[in-house]
């Protein structure tokens, strides 16, 4: 099983801030990593896959980077609709696993 450490678990920020979320793997996964956004009571939505490829329709203020064991999601200029919980997910090997989640809240 590939274990994932996502940090921070809670991030307090203001509109317009640049925020970064980290995801670290227990072993290398090349670029087989996705990021999701989830709002309360809703299904998750895919933001980024293959570590850095933006899903169609996702605003360009979202970006992903990294490969191997260390990955980062960056929101360049936080908007009000971005306050949500974010998850990383590896799909390098079964079982596919998710990070513990990062809640981005209003400061």
Partner 1 sequence: QVQLVQSGAEVKKPGSSVKVSCKASGGTFSSYTISWVRQAPGQGLEWMGRIIPILGIANYAQKFQGRVTITADKSTSTAYMELSSLRSEDTAVYYCATSKLGRMDVWGQGTTVTVSS
Binding site for partner 1 (CB under 8 A): 1, 32, 34, 36, 38, 43-46, 49-50, 55, 87, 89, 91-92, 94-101
Q: Closest separation between CB of residue 62 and partner 1, Å?
A: 15
Question: Which pair of structure tokens corresponds to residue 33?
Answer: 């990593």
Q: Closest separation between CB of residue 78 and partner 1, Å?
A: 22
Is 40 in a helix, a strand, or coil? coil
Nearest residue (CB) to partner 1, 13 versus 50: 50
Question: Which pair of structure tokens corresponds to residue 8?
Answer: 């921070």
Nearest residue (CB) to partner 1, 15 versus 28: 28
Question: Which pair of structure tokens corresponds to residue 53?
Answer: 């490829």
Separation CA 20–CA 64 (nearest Å): 9
């Amino acid at each position: 099983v590939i274990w994932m450490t996502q940090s921070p678990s809670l991030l307090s920020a203001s509109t317009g801030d640049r925020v970064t979320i980290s995801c670290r793997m227990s072993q290398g996964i090349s670029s087989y990593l996705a990021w999701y956004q989830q709002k309360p009571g809703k299904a998750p939505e895919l933001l980024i896959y293959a570590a850095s490829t933006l899903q169609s329709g996702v605003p360009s203020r979202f970006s992903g980077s990294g490969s191997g064991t260390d990955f980062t999601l960056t929101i360049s200029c936080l908007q009000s609709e971005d306050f949500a919980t974010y998850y990383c997910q590896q799909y390098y090997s079964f079982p596919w696993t998710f990070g513990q989640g990062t809640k981005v809240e209003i400061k």
